Structure 1
Amino acid sequence: MVGNQTVSIVVPCHNEEACMPLLLPAIAQTSRDLRERWPGTRLELVLVDDGSTDRTATLIEQEARSQQWSFAIRWLSLSRNFGKESALLAGLDAATGDLVAVMDADLQDPPSMLIRMARMLDDDAGIDCVGTRRVTRKGEPPIRSLFSRLFYRIMNALSPVEVPDGARDFRLMRRRVVDAVTSLPERNRFSKGLFAWVGFRTAWIEYPNVPRAAGRTNWSFMKLAKYALDGLVSCSTAPLRVASYIGLILCMIAFVATCFIAVRAAAFGDPVAGWPSLTCIVTFIGGLQLMCLGIIGQYLARTYLESKNRPNYIVRNGNVPISRGGQIIPRMQCD
């Protein structure tokens, strides 16, 4: 039952100064709706400043100290920009709720949908997580939408777990799901893939694309491309197998070609001809070799980073003491 439980809402923030004045009233309305539907429900908002260069961290701290809201504000400010995945992990580590939601600060994830999510969890004890997926991409550049759909198709073709097209990080989870995700030790994280990998029964809510409430997105096309590459490499070893298959096929082709050339030379002599085609073939083979080495290098680089065993994030300030993996992640100013 949702009633008499604590609901945590984790919100990673990076340069969201324009959205903060809109986010908190929306969360306050959601808090009122939750308590009206399930009396005794407590809500805490976990804000994680991911090394913002604007006034986001200052606004978060001011709102947390003002105590004007009907919900508790727990906050962390990271020592630098570690990326959304690390900020999300920090928020999940800090969340204490029986139910934990993850959403963006730009209100593209409508907080009002949390009521529907909580109702689904309340009505069906067999559901562990309620996720969301966008069914339209209205307002996005066409090229970004095209590559996004292509990414999900490739991901689902190569990965052992399925990530629905348009899946968002926006979801509401029971505590056991959160504990499973935070227990995963890897440093190179792709949350959509991790949520799918840990399993548990997930129900999906579909909704149309919602534009940002204010400000500008921090995700450029190149950042999204890098994020997609990280997701593919972190969730599947299929690219390594593809590189191996390419190498095997090329070896077979080279063997057949060698036999053909040897027979032709023995039967008809060996005139000097065909150097342009030979140059193209050598260049093509060299390019494939470099591509395969690049694929191997991506996995090797991530193995190297994992072997360093560095923390996913370092906290500069906040009002939440965190201990994860038996390691105190460094000292903070705690209220």
Structure 2
Amino acid sequence: MLLGGVVLSSCNDDGPDPIIDDSFYSQVLGGETKVPDPMNPGQQIEQGFLNLRTVVVNTVTTIATNEGGKYNSLQPYFSVLLNEVGRGETTGLNMLVMDFTKFLAEATGARNFSYTGLDMEAAHDPARNPRMNGLINNADYDLFIQAVVEGAAQAGITDNAVLGPVGQLLESVRAPIVQRGGNESLDLYTRLGGSGLVSDPQNPGQLIEAGYIPLRAVVTETVLVIATNEGGKYEDLLPSFSVLLAEVGANDLSGFGLLVSGFSNFLAEAIGAQNIRYTGLNMADAHNPMVNPRMTGVVTESDYDLFIEAVVEAALKLEVPMSIIQEFGALLTSPGLRSAIVQG
């Protein structure tokens, strides 16, 4: 147990050996002494646990309020939590506070608290923890530790005798928590908003992942750019969309909705979404008229270049940053995807 220790000491040879708790939790944090719980009137709480919980609450609040943009780079990891709190939901916040506090309490020697959550590696892996967005790198973990120190200072804890061992504890779990190299970018889906749920602007009363909204917007705008075909710029692409355009002309938007959701799902999964999966035809079959009856004619190299041009035009209309457009361009021009789609 980190920073924890219980020793036996004999005062005399006649009675049982008293248990002396010399753990960091007991000796420095306040231990098991019961005090009023400021968050739960009428209830008691161990002083050591209260001190740790106060630091944890302050840390989360410090990151969430993000005064002066100091913790901008930590915001994406907390997309789920921050959007919940924004909707007035605090269950996830309370769970995070209790889990992190129990982890610290057990690690510092508490005898009445045990952390039973995911191990540190799994807890910080979006593939295994749906509440996590993105993989952490060393720089962001350093910033998180800085937030803990700031949270402790807000609680009046500034003594190195306390901060030093807590810092050592946080350093001891750096290896399983940090899972992204310094030269690796945070996945694009997380940077677009991630899996935090927000109100769906197209469907009042429903929630949607924040990272999905800009994808769907670009896909929708791309189809509209091609369909409106201003100045005949996309004339060569219209035959490929003849089924769709005929449906829309007859006020049947079902195919349009399927195309937008299918392409959006494909992009979302490709750029890092964990909860959204593309379940349609593979790209080769989807663009093969012999397999997909909604496809008329095969896509040529020039057609595909023109389609990418339409995507770029749509993204620029929506004021998507050029750096993001370039990342999408790299995906769309990747050899595997291009060769599957271009069949003529």
TM-score (norm 2): 0.26
Higher relative contact order (CA 8 A, sep 6+): 1
Greater fraction of residues in helix: 2
| Rg (Cα) greater in structure | 2
Return the structure number with greater strand share.
Answer: 1
